[in-house]
Structure 1
Amino acid sequence: MSVLVLPGQASADPAPPPAAGGDADKSLNDVRREIDALYRKAAVATDAYNLAEDQTQDQSGEIVKLAKSIVAGENRINKLKDRLGAQARAQYRTGGVPQSAQLMLSGDPDFFLQGAGRMQQGQTAVKGMLGELTRTQEDLRTYSQDASTEWQKLEANRKRKEKAQTEVKKQIAAAEKLEARLEQKERTRLLELEREEQYRSQTAWLDSGALKNGGKGGAASTAQGKQAVSYATDQIGDPYVWGAEGPDAFDCSGLTQQAWASADRAIPRTSQEQWRLLPKVSVADMQPGDLIIYFSDASHVGMYVGDGAIVHAPRPGRTVTIAGAGSMPILGVVRPG
Structure 2
Amino acid sequence: MSGRLLRLVCTAAVAAGIVCAPVSAAADPAPGPGDARSVAGLLTDLQRLYREAEKATETYNGTEERLKRQRAEVRRLDAELARTRASLHDSRGAAGRLARQQYQSSGNLSPYLRLLLARDPQHAIDQGHVIGRLARERVETVGRLTGAEKKAADLARRSRQALDRQVALAESQAEQRDDVRERLRAVEELLASLTPEQLAALAELEESGIAREQERFLASGALGDDAKPSAEGERAVRFAVEQLGKPYEWGAEGPASYDCSGLTSVAWQRAGTAIPRTSQEQWARLERVPLNELRPGDLVVYFPEATHVAMYLGDGKVVQAPRPGAEVKVSPIAANPVLGAVRPDPGGEPLRRYTPPRLPEGATDGSDEGYADAYAPAAPETSIR
Structure 2 residue corresponding to 1:42, chosen from 45, 53, 78: 53
Q: Structure 1 pair 131/211, CA: closer, same or farther in 2 (3 Å)?
A: same
Structure 2 residue aligned with 1:150:
162
| CA shift for structure 1 position 186 | 2.8
User: Which secondary structure does the structure 2 equivalent of 1:79 belong to?
Assistant: helix
| TM-score of the aligned structures, taking structure 1 as reference length | 0.89
Structure 1 residue corresponding to 2:186, chosen from 174, 179, 182: 174
Task: Give the conservation status (yes or no) of the 8 Å contact 1:252–1:312.
Answer: yes
Q: After the TM superposition, list the runs of 4 or more consecutive aligned residues in structure 1 that deviate by more than 6 angstroms.
A: none
| CA shift for structure 1 position 290 | 0.4
| CA shift for structure 1 position 77 | 1.2
Structure 2 residue corresponding to 1:188, chosen from 200, 209, 212: 200
Q: Which runs of 5+ in 2 are unaligned?
A: 6-24, 346-385
Aligned AA (1:250): Y
Distance in 1, matches of 2:53 and 2:137, equals 64
Structure 1 residue aligned with 2:136:
124
| CA shift for structure 1 position 8 | 6.1
Structure 1 residue aligned with 2:95:
84
User: Which secondary structure does the structure 2 equivalent of 1:287 belong to?
Assistant: coil
Aligned AA (2:326): R
Structure 2 residue aligned with 1:224:
232
| CA shift for structure 1 position 276 | 0.3
Q: Say how many residue pairs are matched.
A: 320
Structure 1 residue aligned with 2:81:
70
| CA shift for structure 1 position 319 | 1.4
| CA shift for structure 1 position 29 | 2.0
Structure 2 residue corresponding to 1:274, chosen from 279, 282, 294: 282
| TM-score of the aligned structures, taking structure 2 as reference length | 0.78
User: Which secondary structure does the structure 2 equivalent of 1:141 belong to?
Assistant: helix
The range that moved more, 98-107 or 248-257, is: 98-107
Distance in 2, matches of 1:164 and 1:170, equals 10
Task: Give the conservation status (yes or no) of the 8 Å contact 2:318–2:330.
Answer: yes
Q: Structure 1 pair 144/96, CA: closer, same or farther in 2 (3 Å)?
A: farther
Structure 2 residue aligned with 1:315:
323
Distance in 2, matches of 1:8 and 1:221, equals 30
Structure 2 residue aligned with 1:234:
242
After superposition, give the CA deviation of every residue in 1:65-114 in whole Å (9 maximum; x if it has no partner). 11111111111111111112111111211235532234445666665433
Aligned AA (2:279): S
User: Which secondary structure does the structure 2 equivalent of 1:289 belong to?
Assistant: coil
User: Which secondary structure does the structure 1 equivalent of 2:201 belong to?
Assistant: helix
| CA shift for structure 1 position 24 | 2.5
Structure 2 residue aligned with 1:100:
112
Q: Which runs of 5+ in 1 are unaligned?
A: 1-6, 10-17
Structure 1 residue aligned with 2:255:
247
Task: Give the conservation status (yes or no) of the 8 Å contact 1:172–1:316.
Answer: no
Structure 2 residue corresponding to 1:33, chosen from 44, 48, 53: 44
Q: Structure 1 pair 317/156, CA: closer, same or farther in 2 (3 Å)?
A: same
User: Which secondary structure does the structure 2 equivalent of 1:302 belong to?
Assistant: strand
| CA shift for structure 1 position 138 | 2.4
Task: Give the conservation status (yes or no) of the 8 Å contact 2:224–2:294.
Answer: no
Task: Give the conservation status (yes or no) of the 8 Å contact 2:297–2:313.
Answer: yes
User: Which secondary structure does the structure 1 equivalent of 2:46 belong to?
Assistant: helix
| CA shift for structure 1 position 207 | 1.0
Structure 1 residue aligned with 2:350:
none
Structure 1 residue aligned with 2:373:
none
Q: Is 2:153 the counterpart of 1:141? A: yes
Distance in 2, matches of 1:64 and 1:183, equals 54
User: Which secondary structure does the structure 2 equivalent of 1:272 belong to?
Assistant: helix
Structure 2 residue corresponding to 1:327, chosen from 325, 331, 335: 335
User: Which secondary structure does the structure 2 equivalent of 1:322 belong to?
Assistant: strand
Aligned AA (1:232): A
Q: Structure 1 pair 25/234, CA: closer, same or farther in 2 (3 Å)?
A: farther
After superposition, give the CA deviation of every residue in 1:150-197 in whole Å (9 maximum; x if it has no partner). 122212211221111111111111101111122334323322211111
Structure 1 residue corresponding to 2:265, chosen from 250, 257, 268: 257
User: Which secondary structure does the structure 2 equivalent of 1:326 belong to?
Assistant: helix
| CA shift for structure 1 position 221 | 0.4
Percent of residue pairs identical: 35
Distance in 1, matches of 2:118 and 2:266, equals 78
Aligned AA (1:284): N
Greater share of helix: 1
Task: Give the conservation status (yes or no) of the 8 Å contact 2:4–2:203.
Answer: no
